[in-house]
Chain A
Amino acid sequence: MNNPASAKVEAITRINDFVVKFANVNGSGSASANNMFAKAVFRMGIPVSPHNIFPSNIQGLPTWYEVRINEQGYLGRREGVDLMVAMNEQTIAKDIAAVVPGGYVLYDSSKPLPEDLFRDDIQYLPIPLKDICISEFDKPPQRQLFKNIIYVGALAALLNIDFEVLTGLVSDQFRGKEKLILPNIHALELGHQFAMDDFDCPLKLQLKSSDKNDNKILMDGNAAVGLGCVYGGATVASWYPLTPSTSVVDAFGKYCKRLRIDPGSGKQKFSVVQAEDELAAIGIAIGAGWNGARAFTASSGPGISLMQEFLGLAYFSEVPVVLFNIQRVGPSTGMPTRTQQGDLLSCAYASHGDTKHILLFPATPKECFEYAIDAFDLADRLQTPVIVMSDLELGMNEQICDPLRWDEDRSYDRGKVLDAKQLEEIEKFGRYNDVDDDGIPYRTYPGTHPNKGSYFTRGSSHDAYAAYTEDGDVYAEVMDRIAKKFRTALNYLPEPEIDNSGNNLGLLYTGTTTSAIQEARDLLARQGVEVDTLRVRAFPLHDSIKAFIDGHDRVYVIDQNRDAQLKSLLKIELNVNEEQVESILSYNGVLITAQHIERAILTSMESQTAADKVES
Chain B
Amino acid sequence: MTYISKPKFQHPQLQANNIGLTRRDYEGTLTTLCGGCGHDSISAAIIQAAADMSLEPHRVAKLSGIGCSSKIPSYFLGKAHAFNAVHGRMPSVATGANLANKELYYLGISGDGDSASIGLGQFCHIVRRRINMLYIVANNGTYGLTKGQLSATADLGSKTKSGEESLYDNIDMATLAIELGASFVARSFSGDKQQLVPLIQAGLSHKGFAFIDVVSPCVTFNNTDASTHGYKNTWENNVALSQVDFVPMRKEITTSYDAGKEKEITLHDGSVIHLHKTGSNYDPYDQENALHHINQHKKQGRIATGLLYINQSTSDLHELTDTVDKPFNALTEHDLCPGDEVLMDINETFR
Contact = CB atoms under 8 A, between A and B. Distances in A.
A and B from one assembly?
A: yes
Q: When A and B form their complex, which 4 residue pairs have the shortest distance between CB atoms, in order from nearest?
A: A287-B96, A283-B92, A292-B329, A293-B100
B336 interface: yes
A454 B3 contact: no
Interface stretch (B79-87, B217-225, B265-273, B302-310): B79-87
Interface of A: 42-43, 216-219, 227, 230-231, 233, 235-236, 238, 255, 259-260, 262, 265-273, 275-277, 279-293, 295, 309-310, 313, 403-408, 410-412, 444-451, 454-460, 467-470
A408 B340 contact: yes
Contacts of A259: 338, 342
A457 B81 contact: yes
Contacts of B59: 447
A468 B1 contact: yes
Contacts of B96: 236, 238, 283-291, 293, 295
Given A271-B323, A287-B94, A293-B329, A231 B337 contact: yes
A295 B78 CA distance: 27
29 contacts: A43-B351, A217-B347, A231-B338, A233-B336, A236-B100, A262-B324, A270-B323, A271-B323, A273-B99, A276-B121, A279-B89, A279-B92, A280-B92, A283-B85, A283-B92, A284-B95, A286-B96, A288-B97, A288-B100, A291-B329, A292-B100, A403-B347, A445-B81, A447-B61, A450-B56, A454-B80, A454-B81, A457-B83, A459-B86
A287 B81 contact: no
A269 B331 contact: yes
Given A273-B317, A450-B56, A470-B2, 8 more contacts: A269-B335, A279-B92, A283-B85, A287-B94, A288-B328, A292-B101, A403-B344, A446-B80
B252 interface: no
B251 interface: no
Given A293-B328, A446-B61, A313 B85 contact: yes
B74 interface: yes
Which residue of B124, B328, B331 has the most chain A CB atoms within 10 A of its CB atom? B328
A467 B99 contact: no
B338 A230 contact: yes
Contacts of B84: 456-460
Contacts of A407: 340
A71 to B, nearest CB: 19
A282 B89 CA distance: 10
Given A233-B333, A288-B100, A446-B101, A408 B339 contact: yes
Nearest to A280: B92
A448 B325 CA distance: 18
Given A277-B121, A288-B97, A290-B96, A265 B325 contact: yes
A455 B81 contact: yes
A271 B328 contact: yes
Contacts of A43: 351
Contact of A235 (B83, B85, B91, B328): B328
B343 A406 contact: yes
A291 B100 contact: yes
Contact of A288 (B73, B99, B342): B99
Given A280-B125, A291-B97, A460-B84, A447 B339 contact: no
A295 B89 CA distance: 17
Contacts of B1: 468, 470
Interface string B292-330: 000000000000000000000000010001111100110
A467 B324 contact: no
Given A227-B346, A450-B58, A468-B1, A286 B324 contact: no
Contacts of B125: 275-276, 280
Given A276-B121, A280-B89, A406-B339, A290 B97 contact: yes
Contacts of A444: 81
B350 interface: yes
B347 A456 contact: no
Nearest to A238: B96
A265 to B, nearest CB: 7
B101 A445 contact: yes
A577 to B, nearest CB: 40
Nearest to A417: B329
A405 B100 contact: no
Contact of B93 (A276, A283, A309, A449): A283
Contacts of B86: 283, 309-310, 313, 459
Nearest to A403: B347
B288 interface: no
A459 B90 CA distance: 12
Contacts of A282: 92
B61 A235 contact: no
Contacts of A269: 323-324, 328, 331, 335-336
B104 interface: yes
B92 A275 contact: yes
Contacts of A272: 321
Contacts of A405: 340, 343
Contacts of A288: 96-97, 99-100, 328
A310 B85 CA distance: 8
A236 B337 contact: no
Contact of B3 (A266, A276, A451, A469): A469
Contacts of B342: 259
Contacts of B81: 444-447, 454-457
Nearest to A281: B92
A275 to B, nearest CB: 7
Interface in B65-119: 73-74, 78-86, 89, 91-101, 103-104
A293 B92 contact: no
Contacts of B161: none
A290 B83 contact: yes
A435 B351 CA distance: 50
Contact of B58 (A406, A447, A460): A447
B15 interface: no
Contacts of B103: 447
B284 to A, nearest CB: 29
Nearest to A284: B96
A269 B3 CA distance: 40
Contacts of B94: 287
